[in-house]
Structure 1
Amino acid sequence: MTTLNDVSTHTPLIALIAGEDSGDQLGADLILALRERYPDARFVGIGGARMQAQGFESWYDIRELSLFGFSEVIRHLPRLLRLRRELIARLLKVQPAVVVGIDAPDFNLGLEQRLKHAGLKTVHYVSPSVWAWREKRAEKIGRSANRVLCLFPMEPPIYARHGIDARFVGHPLADRFAMISDRVGAREFLQLPQQAPILALLPGSRASELSRMGPVFIDAAMRVAGALPGLRIVIPAANPHMHAKLKDLLAKLPRDETAPLLLDGHAHEAMLAADVVLLASGTATLEAMLAKRPMVVGYRVAPASYRIARALKMLKTDVYALPNILARANGIDGELLVPEFMQDECTASHLAAATLALFQDSERRGYIVNAFEQLHRALRSGLDGHAGERAAAAIAELMDATDGG
């Protein structure tokens, strides 16, 4: 009898578990690529609007997994554990050909481990930051996943030291940004003056981030505006909820020529239009790097999360911004490409001073742009097709194998 998860008939049941907006985008690209191989496949699990637009059947709301930091996870732990138990039971009942956990490691790794031990094939898509955290974490990931799909080329060798099957599939953002950025076109699109100095401000895409960092980042930007005549500040809001919160913060500022321009989305265009970007640490720093824009990075986690990480000595890196980490991995030594200010160092005065220094040093900006082009090429090196296609190929190979390993 033919079943939904019979790969040989090209009608597999494929489970995807995505967390947050970035996971939803990865999942949507992956579904498109897997459908090229398995046109009649059925996709189930947890996903957002983008995945559902590709015919994905989401059993739960993706916002169930949209948490950040130790303290948020701990507060919601009973609900998350209950959800995971329900999901494991449901997946064991339907027996998918493969289960792909997309990011959300705090939730997905435990889920994958249980399913792998029960005999299902599991993939973890988006390696956690094994280069930043204690390397022993790689062994835990190997116990959870038959295969790990990595976005950065320095990650598979770390897993190889622990005998874990990890594949570099490339970062999807590296496919979406042109090697030579179009500043003129971006400014025309946003109706910004071509000759004005422009600062793009991105203080985080989550409400918790904005509450911690929004006032500090806006204060810093206004200090730069006070020292740099004619500066235009653009702030792209990640979604309508964030737009409303940013609007409330900006309402306290004077309505004059220094008033920031609040955008509905268009973060990529805002970065491309800018001379300098001031932003929170995270994936946005990679986007700014691929846009070839000099940047200043700041970040604050919840105080409880920071104390736990410090007390447990969990971090093994002294740099946090992805462009700085990639620069080290690619042999770009010397001064940090990106000034970064974490936790107590993330103050309006520090951010403003570093941002103004970049505006005033065109030679330094040129050096950074050249380095970012080099790093962009490294993320594409030796890869054919787009990241979703490469991820689908690695998953299909595992699905078609007689033994998940």
Structure 2
Amino acid sequence: MPSAESPIPNPQSRLFILVAGEASGDLLGADLIEGLKRRFPGARFAGIGGPRMGEAGMEIWHPLERLSIMGLVEVLKHLPALLALRRDVFRRTLQEKPDVFIGIDAPDFNLGLERRLKKAGIRTAHYVSPSIWAWRENRAEKIGRCADRVLCLFPMEPPIYARHRVDARFVGHPLADAFALHPDKLAARRTLGIADDALVLAVLPGSRLGEIARLGRDFLDAATLLRKEFPELQVVIPAANAGCEQAIRALAQEADSTIADTQTPPHNPARWLHILPPRSRTAPDSSARSEARTASYESHLCMLAANAILLASGTAALEAMLAKRPMAVAYRIAPMTYRIVKTLGLLRTDVYSLPNILAGRRVVPELMQHDCTPAALAATLAPMLRARALPDDTLREFVRIHESLRGDAEHNAAAAIAGMLGNP
């Protein structure tokens, strides 16, 4: 009997088309490609993705930045371009006739595409379930009409799909596999050149330019306020990509912040703000750097090195929880989008960030929309910087959630896709 990882006969005939819409999807897609390559040596991969998927061997039809748009109003502004892009991907997928089309997150773009492809006789999978546990559970039926199989990152999702007779598999979360249960802060600091006893705030205003435009200046102003109480505070900001780095530097210059030369170790007392550019994937590895593979090579190191983290709601909040660090989660969307969501009562939950959703209660502070001001952010973070570590009960909860999300996601996701082709 061949093992679960044994190559499948006639691998040259396999083609997988993948579409990812943001940095976290690029990470998931790259891991999935690696898992599928072990099962189907010589298989081809094509679609929309980022640098990691390209480095894993995928032919990039379009860069994922073309899909990195959030909010109802923002999507409307770019709707003609998004529709043209979807038509192009649909046409090329029909021409290529892949074994499986895999939409990675980006449900507003991918689900409609998956539905049309499924009707055309192409197998479809959707990797990363929309938040049906937060609002509009009946979307599970629609998702089932679009995707032959849903790959879920969280264990509470498949039972919801089962109620609607949709094939959904919990594959585990790759970030939970990547982070150690008890991460090494000092190793991360030494990799970044930060003193062991430094007081460090990591700031992550998002991986999309729109997020940085809405949150970046307030985050920088909050850091400036915190410096008044903590003169020794060092602030590190990892950039998700070159465009984000440029946007953050422009905001910092506008705010008259002191920007460190990226070659200068962050413990230099003459400098307090350190914007780290994205690191090439071919950079030399180290035990600290390989401890977690996140959307930015520097983001996990900054989180691990920090005493506290200020971040935009999203995957970064999950990363901060897996890093076992205190955090303040903030978010602001376009005012019109916010009014529509509130007026229509679209949300079924009072919490927004993944740590709180997974805990089933508020374990980390959230500052959303009008509450997201520099003064409020600084006031929320100050007690964390004084304490320099998580409270014991919060740490225990983070470890519990971390353990529940582990499960060799790369292997399980590849197995779930292979299973659609009749291979266990």
Question: What TM-score, normalized by structure 2, do the two folds share?
Answer: 0.86
RMSD: 1.9
Per-residue Cα deviation, 1:157-200 (whole angstroms, up to 9, x for no partner)? 11111111110111111111111111111111122121122111
Q: Provide the residue aligned with 2:256 in structure 1.
A: 253
Q: Which amino acid aligns with 1:283?
A: T
Q: Provide the residue aligned with 1:73 in structure 2.
A: 75
Separation of aligned partners in 1, 2:26 and 2:101: 15
Classify 1:192/1:60 alpha carbon distance in 2 versus 1 (closer, same or farther; 3 Å).
Answer: closer
More off after superposition, 85-94 vs 25-34: 85-94
1:183 aligns with 2:185: yes
Q: Provide the residue aligned with 1:294 in structure 2.
A: 326
1:262 aligns with 2:289: no
Alpha-carbon deviation of 1:288? Answer: 0.5
Q: Which amino acid aligns with 1:218?
A: L
SS state of the match for residue 420, structure 2?
Answer: helix
Alpha-carbon deviation of 1:254? Answer: 5.3
Separation of aligned partners in 2, 1:20 and 1:51: 11
Separation of aligned partners in 1, 2:161 and 2:397: 27
Q: Is the 8 A contact 1:181 1:291 kept in 2?
A: yes
Residue from 412, 419, 423 that aligns with 1:390: 412
Classify 1:65/1:362 alpha carbon distance in 2 versus 1 (closer, same or farther; 3 Å).
Answer: closer
SS state of the match for residue 400, structure 1?
Answer: coil
Residue from 252, 258, 274 that aligns with 2:306: 274
Per-residue Cα deviation, 1:36-94 (whole angstroms, up to 9, x for no partner)? 11112122222222222233222333332222221221112122222222322332233
Which aligned pairs between 1:322-337 and structure 2 lie closer than 5 A?
Answer: 322-328=354-360, 336-337=362-363
Residue from 226, 232, 235 that aligns with 1:233: 235
Classify 1:96/1:280 alpha carbon distance in 2 versus 1 (closer, same or farther; 3 Å).
Answer: same
Q: Is the 8 A contact 2:204 2:310 kept in 1?
A: yes
Q: Is the 8 A contact 2:325 2:390 kept in 1?
A: no
Classify 1:248/1:91 alpha carbon distance in 2 versus 1 (closer, same or farther; 3 Å).
Answer: closer
Classify 1:51/1:362 alpha carbon distance in 2 versus 1 (closer, same or farther; 3 Å).
Answer: closer
Per-residue Cα deviation, 1:119-159 (whole angstroms, up to 9, x for no partner)? 22110001111112211111111110010000111111111
Separation of aligned partners in 2, 1:17 and 1:270: 29
Separation of aligned partners in 1, 2:116 and 2:389: 53
1:99 aligns with 2:131: no
Per-residue Cα deviation, 1:284-338 (whole angstroms, up to 9, x for no partner)? 001101110010111101112212222322111110111011111xxxx5xx210
Q: Which amino acid aligns with 1:396?
A: A
SS state of the match for residue 253, structure 1?
Answer: coil
Separation of aligned partners in 2, 1:391 and 1:135: 23
Separation of aligned partners in 1, 2:199 and 2:167: 47
Q: Is the 8 A contact 1:222 1:258 kept in 2?
A: no
1:351 aligns with 2:377: yes
SS state of the match for residue 372, structure 1?
Answer: helix
Q: Is the 8 A contact 1:200 1:277 kept in 2?
A: yes
Q: Provide the residue aligned with 2:347 in structure 1.
A: 315
SS state of the match for residue 391, structure 2?
Answer: helix
Classify 1:310/1:183 alpha carbon distance in 2 versus 1 (closer, same or farther; 3 Å).
Answer: same
Classify 1:365/1:276 alpha carbon distance in 2 versus 1 (closer, same or farther; 3 Å).
Answer: farther
SS state of the match for residue 36, structure 1?
Answer: helix
Query: % of aligned pairs identical?
Result: 53
Separation of aligned partners in 2, 1:226 and 1:208: 29
Separation of aligned partners in 1, 2:151 and 2:166: 11
Q: Provide the residue aligned with 1:9 in structure 2.
A: 10
SS state of the match for residue 218, structure 1?
Answer: helix
Q: Provide the residue aligned with 1:57 in structure 2.
A: 59
More off after superposition, 49-58 vs 315-324: 49-58
Q: Provide the residue aligned with 1:126 in structure 2.
A: 128
Separation of aligned partners in 2, 1:254 and 1:78: 38
Unaligned runs of 5+ in 2: 1-7, 259-268, 279-297
Residue from 330, 337, 341 that aligns with 1:305: 337
Q: Is the 8 A contact 1:99 1:112 kept in 2?
A: yes
Separation of aligned partners in 2, 1:160 and 1:23: 25
Q: Which amino acid aligns with 1:167?
A: R
Alpha-carbon deviation of 1:362? Answer: 6.2
Separation of aligned partners in 1, 2:257 and 2:87: 52
Separation of aligned partners in 2, 1:197 and 1:307: 39
Q: Is the 8 A contact 1:282 1:322 kept in 2?
A: yes
Unaligned runs of 5+ in 1: 1-6
What number of residue pairs does the alignment pair up?
385
Q: Provide the residue aligned with 2:404 in structure 1.
A: 378
Alpha-carbon deviation of 1:21? Answer: 2.1
Alpha-carbon deviation of 1:363? Answer: 8.0
Q: Is the 8 A contact 1:225 1:258 kept in 2?
A: no
Which aligned pairs between 1:76-91 and structure 2 lie closer than 5 A?
Answer: 76-91=78-93
